[in-house]
Chain A
Amino acid sequence: MRHSRLHHLSIWVTALAVVALATPGADAQSKGTIKIATQSPLSGGQASLGEGIKLGAQLAVEKGKASLEKMGYKVELVPYDDQAKPDVGVANAKNIIADKDIMAVIGHLNSGVAIPSSEVYKEVNVVMISPANTNPVVTDRGYPNVNRVCGRDDVQGVVGSEFANAQKVKSVYIIHDKTQYGQSIAEFFKADSEKKGVKVLGFEGTEEKSNFDPIITPIKAKNPDLIYFGGIYDQAAPFFKQAREKGIKAKFMGPDGMDSSDLTKIAGKAVVGMNYTSAAGPASALPKAKTFVEEFKKKFGKNPEPYAAESYDAAMIALKAIEEVAKSGKMSREDVSAAVRKEKLSGITGEIAFDGKGDRQKAQYFVLQVASDDPQKWGDNKIVKQLTIAAPEKK
């Protein structure tokens, strides 16, 4: 965890102080303040990814705010901590819609949090651009204010099972974390595996975080070629570690929830060589993201975690759309939402344009391989397969 609660408090106090200073009348020239909110877990087990989302957006706001400031607006980033919990995300969302200066939300990390929170954003039509939510439901509801710059799980699950099939995997055992994200991607993986004639030896959901012994024992007895974990690294890592310690020799695989250096920090050697799919390429492998990675490192003293680049692009789109609306003279959340949907950006993660329901028109999917048990070398993970696939039409 990179932020103590005290630190959050200090952010809040500063944010409040800034709000107090920026109240109308303080500056006669000012047209007001425009805020861009981020919502991601800044505390708890998934904080390293959530922090990356916040910092990516922060970098974008700092780089992209100049032209809005020239027009007389103050531009700020307000980070919210959703703790990866749906109830906290919704509570934050209610605060966000109450703050009339917030014109766009960049978030969330977890689909299970994004879906209920976006129901709140929709009430006032404030735009949400997601850097990381891959669950199909996020955009399939067809809300005009909900967009994402990453891919979808129904595609990602299939990319995973195709890759496993190409590796001559004959039998799989599937574990998921019972969240909207983990369970649904596990189901997509399972459905496509069955279609390809791969034997599914088990499909098990668990909220367990530490003791996986009783789940591992039947897996060991059934001896699958591959274990697929639909979930997030903070739960998958101890599972993989304990499974190897108990002598399981199966290959491991997972979706983009595995994509954090904490996976190797926790599981160490157990996960070296395992494959995971992603709907967000590693920043180090994106040709246009080179300067982003350098600036990020210089400013924050660490490598960008996955989704930081997506978050950067999402914030850039938001800024661009806000700028266009600002030029028309009247700032409204609805106009910003509509402008985002029409926006086109040549971003650091590639060309971004949204389709009618808010999916990225051409999203990229990757299969990566863990290169080393040293968490510092997470960025060295190699892309073993890269695909560009159009978002499926709404069924």
Chain B
Amino acid sequence: MDFELLIGIFPQVLLDGLILGFMYALIALGYTMVYGVLEFINFAHSEIFIVGAFVGVEILLGLKAAGLLETLPWILVLLLILVAGMAVSGGLAVLVERVAYRPLRRAPRLIPLISAIGVSFFLQDLIRLVESIWRNAFNLVYPSMETLNRRFELTSTIDVSVKSLVVITAALIMLWALHVLVNRTKIGTAIRAVAEDQAAASLMGINVNRIISLTFLIGGAMGGAAGVLFGVQYSLINPYTGFIPGLKAFTAAVLGGIGNIPGAMMGGLVLGLLEAFAASYLSLLTGGAFGAEYKDIFAFSILILILIFRPKGLLGEIVRERA
């Protein structure tokens, strides 16, 4: 066992895990916020997420075709695709709620869940259809931007690329903004009120439907931003790419205590770190007996253990007390 190697790659694995974790955290917010207000799992959220990635790649490819990708400052391009991805994904989430969930609001809880799964399939194939007609392509690749790909080699095993810093910074800013929005503003108070008791909130003069739409808008926008960042970081997307990250983010939301916003952030980070460490270290530590392919088994076993001892998730109970 090469001890030096194990220690040497530690910071790099930590960084990889953080990037993945922030991405899960951003996606998990969409699940947890919707659960908070409606108590149902929006399984279409993984497609809302990947739509953001597609919006980003379409704009980048458009800019590239127009020859603007190299001339515009990279930060402007990045902001543009982030805002566009957030707008489209947020809008789509609101639309999905209006069309597929609102008419079922009074139905038993399993019904909107099935509706959500249906929307998920529908969106997957809709993206596939649109992209195959529009670009005749299944896999789409984010065009690389030179500044974003620049790397700083700290040691022979550790290097930090500009884009990984960008991903982490962007995620931090968004998580902070959401925190402020939910806890320090009137809108946030209204969202929390609706989450706590819809009937009482509407008696206080809160327009419940509008707040629910707003929740979908915010959750969708976070998902869309995560989609753009996912594309920037990992570059290859296809219409089905969203499914697995979506599922893992949902797990992260449950891990943190579903319905709990700081919980979703924490759950995402924990899951991302577990996954990265398992993938990098399992084969080194077991001498190749267990390889990176066991990362999910390892990560999810730990999740099960946590949930056995804390069934409401890491931060689930705190919310209970406040409520």
Contacts and interface: CB of A to CB of B under 8 A. Distances in A.
A270 B235 CA distance: 13
B309 interface: no
A246 B139 CA distance: 22
Interface stretch (B108-116, B208-216, B255-263, B274-282): B274-282
A234 interface: yes
Interface in A44-82: 44-45, 47
A350 B233 CA distance: 45
A213 B12 CA distance: 9
B70 interface: no
Given A4-B132, A220-B157, A247-B151, A206 B234 contact: no
Interface in A99-119: none
Contacts of A222: 5
B157 A221 contact: yes
Interface in A1-28: 1-6
Interface in B162-191: none
Interface stretch (B36-44, B92-100, B285-293, B312-320): B285-293
A217 B236 contact: no
A208 to B, nearest CB: 8
Interface stretch (B13-21, B58-66, B192-200, B300-308): B13-21
Interface residues of B, number: 49
Given A220-B157, A221-B5, A266-B141, A238 B234 contact: yes
Contact of B141 (A2, A205, A211, A265): A265
Contacts of B202: none
B45 interface: no
A221 B234 contact: no
Given A1-B132, A2-B136, A44-B138, A217 B293 contact: no
A-B pairs with lowest CB-CB distance, top 5: A214-B279, A1-B138, A213-B16, A238-B236, A210-B234
A266 B136 CA distance: 15
A4 B233 CA distance: 28
B133 A203 contact: no
B291 A4 contact: no
A5 B149 CA distance: 36
A178 B294 CA distance: 12
Interface of A: 1-6, 43-45, 47, 178, 202-211, 213-215, 217-218, 220-223, 234, 237-238, 241-242, 245-247, 262, 265-266, 268
A382 to B, nearest CB: 25
For the complex, would chain B's binding face be called helix, strand, loop or mixed by DSSP majority? helix
29 contacts: A1-B136, A1-B137, A3-B132, A43-B138, A44-B138, A47-B138, A203-B291, A204-B283, A206-B293, A210-B236, A211-B234, A213-B276, A214-B275, A214-B278, A214-B292, A214-B295, A217-B12, A217-B157, A218-B283, A220-B12, A221-B5, A234-B139, A237-B236, A245-B161, A246-B151, A246-B159, A247-B159, A266-B141, A266-B236
A202 B241 CA distance: 27
B19 to A, nearest CB: 7
A218 B241 contact: no
B150 to A, nearest CB: 10
Contacts of A208: 292
A382 B137 CA distance: 26
Contacts of A247: 151, 153, 159
B8 interface: yes
A206 B297 CA distance: 13
A218 B284 contact: yes
B237 interface: yes
Nearest to A212: B234
Contacts of A215: 279-280, 292
Contacts of A211: 20, 233-234
Interface of B: 5, 8-9, 12-13, 16-17, 19-20, 125, 128-129, 131-133, 136-139, 141, 144, 149, 151, 153, 156-157, 159, 161, 230, 233-238, 241, 275-280, 283-284, 288, 291-293, 295
B135 to A, nearest CB: 9
Q: Give the most central of B5, B9, B159, B234: most A CB within 10 Å.
A: B234
A45 B238 CA distance: 8
A245 B149 contact: yes
A212 to B, nearest CB: 8
A222 B157 CA distance: 9
B88 to A, nearest CB: 21
Given A204-B292, A213-B20, A217-B16, A242 B280 contact: no
B9 A218 contact: yes
Nearest to A200: B288
Contacts of A204: 283, 291-293
Contacts of B288: 202-203
B127 to A, nearest CB: 11
Given A1-B128, A211-B234, A218-B284, A178 B139 contact: no
Contacts of A217: 9, 12-13, 16, 157, 280
B294 to A, nearest CB: 10
A40 to B, nearest CB: 15
A361 B126 CA distance: 46
A268 B8 CA distance: 30
Nearest to B13: A217
A39 B46 CA distance: 31
Contacts of A178: 293
A213 B16 CA distance: 6
Contact of A266 (B16, B132, B139): B139
Contacts of B17: 214
A6 B17 CA distance: 40
B241 A210 contact: yes
A323 B20 CA distance: 59
Contact of B128 (A2, A4, A234): A4
A235 B113 CA distance: 32
A54 to B, nearest CB: 16
A238 B235 contact: yes
Contacts of A209: 236, 241
Nearest to B137: A1
A14 B172 CA distance: 54
A213 to B, nearest CB: 4
Contact of B144 (A213, A262, A268): A268
